């Protein structure tokens, strides 16, 4: 099963977003490659079918974990 392809098929607004991790609830963390918000980190909230902002960069995301 290719979860990313399934997400793109259903939610075209996730194009140019790279998944890199999942939380314990199955929500997917994504790194944006889009021109308007390149490098920002988001989380795809599966139950709400909503993309939520997490951090300005991957480095910031990692630093917030500790």
pLDDT tens digits for range 23-38 = 999 899 999 999 999 9
State the DSSP code for 30.
E
pTM of the model: 0.81
- Number of independent structural domains in the chain: 1
Strands 28-32 and 17-22: what pairing? antiparallel
Please give the pLDDT value at position 46: 84
Confidence of residue 14 (pLDDT cuts 50, 70, 90): confident
| Domain assignment of residue 61, given as a range | 3-65
Cα atoms in the Cβ-side hemisphere of radius 13 Å centred on 38: 1
| Sign for the pseudo-dihedral over CA of 34, 40, 31, 59 | positive
47 has a pLDDT exceeding 90: no
Neighbours of 62 (CB within 10 A): 11
Please give the pLDDT value at position 15: 82
């Amino acid at each position: 099963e290719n979860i990313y392809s399934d997400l793109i098929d259903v939610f075209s607004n996730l194009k140019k977003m790279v998944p890199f991790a999942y939380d314990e609830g199955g929500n997917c963390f994504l790194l944006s490659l889009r021109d308007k918000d390149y490098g920002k980190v988001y989380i795809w909230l599966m139950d709400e079918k909503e993309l939520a902002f997490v951090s300005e960069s991957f480095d910031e995301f990692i630093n917030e974990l500790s």
